Amino acid sequence: MGQAGPGGKAGPPAIARGGRFVVHKPMPSPDRLRIALAQLNPTVGAIAANLALVRAARAEAAAAGADLVVYPELVVTGYPPEDLVLRPALQNAAEAGVQALAAETADGGPALLVTSPWREDGKLYNAVLLLDGGRIVATRYKHDLPNYGVFDEKRVFAAGPLAGPMAFRGVRLGVLICEDMWTPEVAECLAETGAEILVVPNGSPFEADKPEVRLNLAIARVVETSLPLIYLNQVGGQDELVFDGGSFVVNADRSLALQQPQFETSLVVTDWSRQGNGWVCAPMPLPTPRVRLENIYHAMMLGLRDYVNKNRFPGVVLGLSGGIDSAISAAVAVDALGAERVHCVMMPSKFTTGESLGDAEICAKLLGVRYDSIAIEPAVQAFTGMLAPHFAGRAPDITEENLQSRVRGVTLMALSNKFGHMVLTTGNKSEMSTGYATLYGDMCGGYSVLKDVYKTTVFDLSRWRNAHKPPGALGPDGPVMPDNVIVKPPTAELRENQKDQNSLPPYDQLDFILEHLVEKEKSVDEIVALGQPRDVVRRVQNLLLVAEYKRRQAPPGVKITSRNFGRDRRYPITNGFRDVP
């Protein structure tokens, strides 16, 4: 790359043609610009509905006098479309939708920086298109395709060439698409070829500590280029991914000019003025930062709400056991969907204590949900009697425990089949990691809000929700579960006096080891060096690896951490490797 001129910019802009840059003379630039940031919640594959969102945002932006509306990544098809984007019918529909949008810009209203799959020369690209004056003015393709974690874009898209900025009404917009911002190359190219404002449409999924990472990367690009940057992210749940919005603008002096809310759709019109040699976005009031637990809770709410609503379930049904996992799952469901769409069922066995019965009933009353009790003992006795001749001479063991869990799964699925509500599973990441869950039992269901939440975080979230009602939540003010649910020792109640800690290490120790094994990919020796007993670490690692076959059959759940069980972590089921002697 050549050297940038003063202020990080380098003379006249260029357009990429055949991999080379052709310099042209700049158009006269205005002194003011209004750019609308449309933080939307599209649905994958729902092209007509997504185009309606695009048009509604344009109408709102036009009423506010905007010159340009910017949209999140792949807004026309929704993101990530995965292999759906390979269907020619979808490609045709998306391109036809973009052409229709382009024609509509002949009305003299705002131009659109819209995003869609786009074909050229037999290749499919992740594209951004500038629509203005009734036509497609410019097209740019995503250069840096992510192929790690939850992303596998190289599977479906071709990488676009490095390209110069787009000329928009005398202003040179340097467009980077999502991952293009995470490395310096694309921003450097845009700065050297005359960009004046960097614009980054995104489909960036939520992780608990990711908002700070995004901002730091944006500031790094601003420092390197001396250009202001618009970061526009989408909102919404798509299977296990949640997109948290939080779009922002960073001025060239590294100041944060504005930030849109997290977990909410939003349209903000920003005012830009030319000052000296560059453009400056007028600052707007910034939202109050949220604490980590609040962000996690909001991600769980949004992930569940969109999964249920976009898949057109009338509501959810779940087992309410009197334990903490089912209590917080029910609270999230009520906050996301409303109490009238949540059906809680206590399914007592002969091992269910009066304490659990009372705690479950109190939870249901606090949440205001429909609450039923269906005793499972008749079904358990029927199964044990049916199997008795075949189990003769063998003492009761975990088989009989799992029978109870599976009877509960069958019961919930019967209610789901009859009334249409999706079964919400309640297992947490600690259990899913170690296989402390029953296939076709408590793992039975359509979705999980705790799948990527360790047990220690479940406790923290429960305390937090009892003390705070999140903005936008549909549930009650005040506590959503009795304190006893939080403080009593966790138990599956599948045998007399059973406690989780009879089968697993203490949860604070277990979760520490699991985080280092799963998220950080540490070896046994490395975790032992952090002060953990070798025998415990080896046991936890073995439990983690042998439970892979269970996790492969688990329902999807909200991604919270940097490495969830699902798209992030794809281990073989048949696996003879252990990193210990």
- What are the catalytic residues? 73, 142, 178
* CA–CA distance, 574 with 149 (Å, rounded to integer): 21
Cβ-based neighbour number of residue 169 at 10 Å = 16
* CA–CA distance, 238 with 569 (Å, rounded to integer): 18
* CA–CA distance, 30 with 171 (Å, rounded to integer): 7
Helices and strands: H and E segment counts in the chain: 16, 22
Exposed, middle or buried, 151 (CB in 10 Å: 0-12/13-18/19+)?
middle
Handedness of CA 163, 167, 171, 175 (dihedral sign): negative
- Give buried/exposed letters for 193-225 (b at 16+ CB in 10 A, else e): bbbbbbbbbbbbbbbbeebeebbebbebbbeeb
Handedness of CA 530, 535, 539, 542 (dihedral sign): positive
State CA 281 to chain mean position distance: 29
88-94 LR contacts (CB < 8 Å, sep 24+): 90/45, 90/47, 90/117, 91/117, 91/119, 91/124, 93/47, 94/47, 94/118
Which of these, 292, 251, 230, lies nearest to 70 by C-alpha position? Answer: 230
Q: Identify whether the C-beta of residue 290 lies closer than 8 Å to the C-beta of residue 298.
A: yes
DSSP one-letter string for 288-327: PPPPHHHHHHHHHHHHHHHHHHHTT-S-EEEE--SSHHHH
Q: Residue 405 in 3-state DSSP?
A: helix
* CA–CA distance, 203 with 483 (Å, rounded to integer): 39
